[in-house]
Chain A
Amino acid sequence: MNTGTFNPPEIDYLAIAPILIIFGTAVLSVLVEAFVGRTARRPVQLVLVIGSLLVALYFVISQAGTRTITANGALVIDGPALVLWGALLVLSLLGAMLMAERTLDPSGDVFAARAAALPGSEDERQFTQRGWVQTEVWPLFLFSVSGMLMFVAANDLLLMFVALEVMSLPLYLLAGMARRRRLLSQESALKYFLLGAFSSAFFLYGASLLYGFSGTVSLPGIAEAISAKPSQGPLLILGMALLVVGLLFKVGAVPFHQWTPDVYQGAPSAVTGFMAATVKIAAFGALLRVMYVAFGGIRWDWEPMLWVIAILTMFVGSIVALVQTDIKRMLAYSSIAQSGFIMLGVIAASAEGLSASLFYLIAYGFGTIGAFAVISMVRQSGGEATSLSAWAGLGRTSPVIGAVFAVFMLSLAGIPLTSGFVAKFGVFAAAIESGDTWLVIAAVVASIIAAFFYVRVIVLMYFSAPAKEPAVVAVPSAFTTIALAAGVTVTVVLGIIPQPLLELVANADVFLR
C-alpha cells in the first residue's frame, strides 16, 4: 500500500559535473586496474587522471556564474564552492604531477613497488628491482579528490560526513605507501587512520545531536531552527561543539593537531604536498560553510571558542616549529600555524572574512605544494634529505632551487611581494573590521615568531657552511618541474598582482543558503 507518491530529486547534472567526472573516472580507473595489462596501466591511469582533472576544471570555469542548490538541497554550487573547486582541481593536478614523478628516486616511483610486501623482505627487493608500480594509487587519488569536491559543496551534514570519509579514507592509504622509510610511513598511516576515525566519531555525534535539536541535517535547516527557537538549548551547543571538533581535526587546529607532524613526515612527500594543500582547503571550505550558513546566527556563541583555538593554534604551531630538526615536521607545524591564521577569516564571520580566507587558502596551497616539491628533490643517498642539517649551504650549491624554496618560505612567513603577505593582510584586515583587534595583535606576534623559523631555513641555506653529507638536488622530470614552476609563479604573481584573484574571491563572498 503506497500512500505517498515518489518524486525523484531534480539534479542539475551540469552544475555538479566536476564531481561526477572525477567520481566516474575513479570508478573507471578501478576497472583499468582490473583489465589493462601491467605495463600499460601507468600511462593509461595518468591520462585518465590528468584528463579528468582538466575536463572537470573546464566545467568549473565554464559555469563560473552558476549559483544553485540541487539534489533536493544536498549539494550547493555557489561562489565559494566554485572557487574552492577550481583551487582543489588545480592543486590536485599539481599533486598528481608530484605523485607521477619517477626520475628523482633512482629506483623509480615515489610509492612502494608493492605496498603489501613486507618492508625489508626479499619480495620487496624483487618488486623494486623489477620496476613494478602500485598503480592503484590513482583510483584512490581520484576518489579522494571527488570526496573533497563534495565536501566543500555539501549542504547537509549527512553528505558532508560521507564526503569527509570519501576524502580521508584514500589518504590514509596513500600516506602509508612511501617507497622509503616504509615503517615510518605505515606507522603514520595507521595513526592518521585511528585518529581520523576518532574525530569522525565526534563529527557524527555532533551531527546527530544537531538533528535532535533541529529535526534536520541540512545546514540552512539548522539555521532556520536556530532562528525559530529563541531558547536555544544545550543540544545545539553540544552538537555544534562536537561537529566543529571533527572539522578542526582536519584543518590541524590545536589541540587536534598532533597527527599532523607524524603524518606529514611519514607520508611520501608527494602525498604530503597534495594532502597539505588540498585537505586544508577542503576542510576550511566546509568549516566556513558550516560556521557561516548553519551557525551564522549564533556567532557570538562560537567566536570566543574559536578565539581560544585560533590563538593556541597560531602559537603552538609557531613555537614548536622553532625546535624542529626535520624539514617535513617543520612544515607540518607551519601548516598548523597557518591554520590559526586562516581561522581569523572564519572568526571574522563577514563577506570580507570569507573572501580573505579563500584567498589565503589558495595562496597557502600553492606555496605548500611547491615547498614539498622542493623537498622531494633534495636528496641524499638514503632518499630525501629531510634533516634540516643536510640543507645547510644548499642555497650556494643549488642557487635556483635555494631561491625558489626561499620564495616559498618568505611567502609562508608573509613577507611583502609574495602571496602570503596579501593573504595575511586580507584575513587580518577582515578580522579587524569585525572587531577582533586583539586577536589580530596576537596573530601579528605569532607571525613574527613564525617568521623566525622560516627565515632560519633561508639562513641555513645561504649562511651556513655545507653539511658533512650535503644534500644534492636531483634533476626532476617534467612532472615535478611543472608543479614547482606553477607553485613559484603563483606565489610571486599573487604577491605582485593579486588583484584578479582578489576580485574573483570578492565575487564569491556569500554562501548560497
Chain B
Amino acid sequence: MTELMPAEGVFSLIWLLIALPLAGAIVLLFGGRRTNSWGPYLGVLTVSASAVLGVLMLLGLLDRPAEERTVEQTLFTWVFVGDFQADMAFQLDQLSMVFVLLITIVGALIHVYSLGYMAHDPDRRKFFGYLNLFVAAMLLLVLANNYLLVYVGWEGVGLASFLLIGFWQAKPSAAAAAKKAFIINRVGDVGLSLAIMLMFVTFGSVSFDDVFRSTSEASEGTLTAIGLLLLLAAAGKSAQFPLQAWLLDAMEGPTPVSALIHAATMVTAGVYLIVRSNAIYNAAVWAATAVVIVGLITIFMGAIIGSAKDDIKKSLAGSTMSQIGYMIFAAGLGPIGYVFAIFHLLTHGVFKAGLFLGAGSVMHGMNDNVNMRRYGALKGLMVITFITFMAGYLAIIGIPPFSGFWSKDEIIHAAFERNAFIGIATILAAGITGFYMTRMIAMTFFGKPRWEEGVHPHESPAVMTIPLIILALGSTFMGMALLFWGNIESWLEPVTGFASEPTPLPTMFYIGVTLVVVIIGAVIGWITYGVKPVPIDPPHGSWLTRAARKDLYGDAVNDVLVVQPSLATARYLSWFDDKGIDGFVNGIARWVGLLANTLRRTQSGLVRSYALSMVGGVFVVVLALLLVRMN
C-alpha cells in the first residue's frame, strides 16, 4: 500500500475538477431562460477546463515516483457520528487519474458533439445542465476517498442518468425507460448501501485506506458478503446479469447520452467499484468467482442480444453489455485481470463513444430512424461517419493494431492463465462480436438503400464530425499508446496490483486463434447481411420459414449452429426481458398498488373507524408486551 500524499501544487485543485462542471450545472439549471443563448457553451467550457486540469494533474503525477502518486485532499469532515467518520475528501491516484481523463476528455468531446446534435432542441440548456451534473457526479464517484462519498456520486450519476434517459419525456417510452432504469438501479444501490453499512460495522470506517488496510482483520465470510453486495451494486450500475434489463431501454435517451453515460463512463462505474475494492476481492475468493460468472454470462447475453436487434442503438447497447461483461470478468480474475479490466474500459470508452456518436450521426442523417433495416449504402454519402465508424468497428472486434485488439487480447490471455475453459468461452464471445458488428456495418453502410420515403441522408456538420474524428484516432492508436508508451500495467500496479501467470501455450497462439474466430464471425456476418439483400421486414425465425430458406443458409454450417440459435436465444432473452424482468418489476408494482389500495380503503374518513383501529393498535401493543414479558 502506498502512502497518501498531501495535496500540493496543482493537486490542491482536485476539488475544482468537480466544482467546475457542478457550477456549470447550477448556472444552467437555475439560471432560467437568460442562459439559453450562452448556456450550452458554458457547459462545454467547464468540462473542457476540467479536462485541461486533469491533463495537468497527469503531468504532475508523472513527475513523481510511483509510490508517491496517491494524493489525498480533505476538504472537511463530512459526517462524524460516534466512532464513525466520513470526510468530504478526494483521493487522486493512478486509477482515479485515468478515469478523470476518460470522463473529462470523452465528456468534453460529447459536449461539443451535442452542440450540433441538440441544436434544434428547445430544452437544450437543460440538457447541457444535466450533462454537466452527470460529469460532476461521475468525477465525485471516482475521486472519492471513501465509500460513503462514492455512494453520493453513485446516486448522483443515477439521478443524472434518470433525468437524461427521460429527457424526451413527451415519449411515453422514454419516461417508462427512465423509470425502469431508476427501479433496477435502486436494487443495486441497496447492495452498495448495505455493503457500506457492513464495512462500517466490520472495520469501523468506510474510507478506502482504512478498509483496505484492515481486510485481514475481517472473517472471509464477512468479506465475501461485502464482495457480493458490491457485485450487486456493480451489476445494477453496469447493466450486468441479472440487472441488465434497463440498459437496452435506456437507449430512449438522446444519443450523446447513450455515448457518454450508457457506453463510456457511467456503466463502467461497476468495474471501477470492483477494481477499487480489489483488496476485498483478493481476500474473498468466492465473491471473486461470482464476479467472473456474472461477467461471463453477461458477455454472452450482450453479444447475443446485439446480434438480434435491428435498432442500431439497441444493438450497440447489447454490445456495451457484452464488453462491460469482459471488464467485470477480467476484474473477477484478480491481480492478473484488474489492470486489463481498466485497460479495456479505457479503450472501450473511446471506441464505443465513437460508435455511438457515429450511430447518432447516421440517425441525424436518416431523420432519427434507428431501424438498420431502413439504412443501407450510406458509405458514399456519409464518408467521415463511415470511416470513423469503421475505426470503431475494427477496434471493437479486435483487429490489430486497433485499440480493442490490445485490451481484449490481454483479457483473453489472462483468462487462459486462469482456466482454459473460460478462455475458450471468451474467444467464442469475441467471434460473436465479430458477427454482430459486421452485421451492423453491412446493414448500415453497405448493400442497397432501403430508406424510407423522403429521407435524404447527408453528412453531419463539423461540430459533430470533429469529435468523431478525434474518437476514431483514439480507437486506432490508443491501445498501442497505452500499452507500449503509457505502460498501463506498471502505471496501475501500485493501486491494483499486477501478476502474470504462465500459460501452457505461447501467447501468439492465443492471439492467432482469437483472430481466426473473430474473422470467421465477421465473415458469417458479411455473408448473411452484406452479400445477401437485407429484407426490410425482419424474417421470421420459426421452423417453417427456416426450412424454406434452408438452401439459402445451407452453405454456412455455422449459420445454423450460431446464428439461428443466437437469434432464438436473443428472442427468448428479449422475451424474458419483457415478460420476465418487466413482469417481475410490474408484478411488484401491481402488488404494491393493490396493497396500497386495500390499505387506503381503511382510510374511510370516519372517526369511529379510526378510533377502532387505534383500539386495535392498543390491543396489539398490550398483547405484544405481555407476550414478550411472558417469555
Contact = CB atoms under 8 A, between A and B. Distances in A.
Contacts of A425: 79, 148
B625 A302 contact: yes
A400 B29 CA distance: 9
Interface in B443-482: none
Nearest to A448: B186
Given A194-B607, A237-B626, A463-B178, A255 B617 contact: yes
A261 B621 contact: no
Given A191-B607, A499-B76, A448 B190 contact: yes
B134 to A, nearest CB: 15
Contact of A502 (B30, B81, B200, B620): B81
Interface string B58-88: 0000000000000000001111111010001
Given A305-B624, A400-B30, A356 B596 contact: no
A351 B83 CA distance: 12
A56 B345 CA distance: 60
A403 B593 contact: no
Interface stretch (A143-151, A316-324, A475-483): A316-324
Contact of A428 (B170, B197, B621, B626): B197
A245 B621 contact: yes
Contacts of A496: 78, 88
A440 B189 CA distance: 15
Given A319-B592, A463-B178, A464-B169, A304 B624 contact: yes
Nearest to A298: B629
A234 B605 CA distance: 35
Interface bin, chain B: 35 or more
Contact of B611 (A198, A305, A319, A455): A198
A195 B611 CA distance: 7
Interface in A301-341: 301-302, 304-305, 308-309, 316, 319-320, 322-323
A425 B178 CA distance: 26
B78 A195 contact: no
A261 B599 CA distance: 13
Interface in B601-631: 602-603, 605, 607, 609-611, 613-614, 616-618, 620-622, 624-626, 628-629
A316 B599 contact: yes
A27 interface: no
Given A202-B618, A441-B194, A415 B159 contact: yes
A199 interface: yes
Contacts of B88: 496-497
A432 B201 contact: yes
B200 A195 contact: no
A78 interface: no
A374 interface: no
A301 B626 CA distance: 9
Interface in B184-226: 186, 189-190, 193-194, 197, 200-201
A439 interface: no
Contacts of B609: 258
B591 to A, nearest CB: 10
A459 B181 CA distance: 13
B79 A399 contact: no
B194 A449 contact: no
B622 A258 contact: no
Interface stretch (B47-55, B150-158, B295-303, B434-442): B150-158
A426 B81 contact: yes
Q: Which of the listed residues A320, A351, A430 has the most CB atoms from chain B within 10 Å of its own CB?
A: A320
B621 A241 contact: yes
A320 B599 contact: yes
Contacts of B81: 352, 355-356, 426, 429-430, 502, 506
Interface string A403-414: 100000000000
Contacts of A463: 166, 169, 175, 178
Contact of A245 (B186, B610, B617): B617
A256 interface: yes
Contacts of A451: 186
Given A499-B78, A499-B80, A429 B616 contact: no
A444 interface: yes
A237 B621 contact: no
A241 B618 contact: yes
B95 to A, nearest CB: 22
Given A403-B30, A416-B151, A503-B80, A199 B190 contact: no
A429 B80 contact: no
A322 B607 contact: no
B625 A416 contact: no
A49 to B, nearest CB: 32
Contacts of B194: 441, 444
Interface in A216-248: 232, 234, 237-238, 240-242, 244-245, 248
A302 B81 CA distance: 26
Nearest to A416: B152
A51 B625 CA distance: 46
B32 interface: yes
Given A416-B152, A416-B156, A258 B610 contact: yes
Interface string B101-120: 00000000000000000000
Nearest to A236: B629
B29 A242 contact: no
A440 B197 contact: yes
A352 B82 CA distance: 7
B397 interface: no
B625 A309 contact: no
A449 B592 contact: yes
A422 interface: yes
Given A195-B607, A242-B622, A308-B620, A322 B593 contact: yes
Q: Which of the listed residues B166, B616, B621 has the most CB atoms from chain A within 10 Å of its own CB?
A: B621
B629 A195 contact: no
B595 interface: yes
Contacts of A498: 78-79
Nearest to A245: B618
Given A241-B618, A444-B190, A448-B186, A322 B610 contact: no
B333 interface: no
B32 A502 contact: no
A241 B620 CA distance: 10
B553 interface: no
A323 B594 CA distance: 10
Nearest to B613: A255
A248 B474 CA distance: 63
Interface in A235-276: 237-238, 240-242, 244-245, 248-249, 254-256, 258-259, 261-262
Nearest to A232: B629
A498 B80 CA distance: 9
Nearest to B33: A399
Given A444-B194, A459-B175, A465 B78 contact: no
Contacts of B607: 190-191, 194-195
A234 B629 contact: yes
Interface in B137-169: 148, 151-152, 155-156, 159, 162-163, 166, 169
Contact of B616 (A255, A309, A352, A448): A255
Contact of B626 (A190, A234, A300, A416): A234
A482 to B, nearest CB: 19
Contacts of A503: 80
B510 interface: no
B588 to A, nearest CB: 10
A433 interface: yes
Contacts of A190: 607
27 contacts: A191-B610, A198-B611, A237-B626, A241-B621, A244-B621, A249-B614, A255-B617, A301-B628, A301-B629, A308-B620, A320-B600, A322-B593, A322-B596, A400-B32, A428-B197, A429-B84, A429-B197, A432-B197, A432-B201, A440-B197, A441-B194, A444-B193, A455-B162, A459-B178, A459-B179, A496-B78, A497-B88
Given A195-B610, A506-B80, 4 more contacts: A238-B625, A352-B81, A400-B32, A421-B152
Q: Which 3 A-B pairs have the closest CB atoms?
A: A463-B169, A416-B152, A255-B617
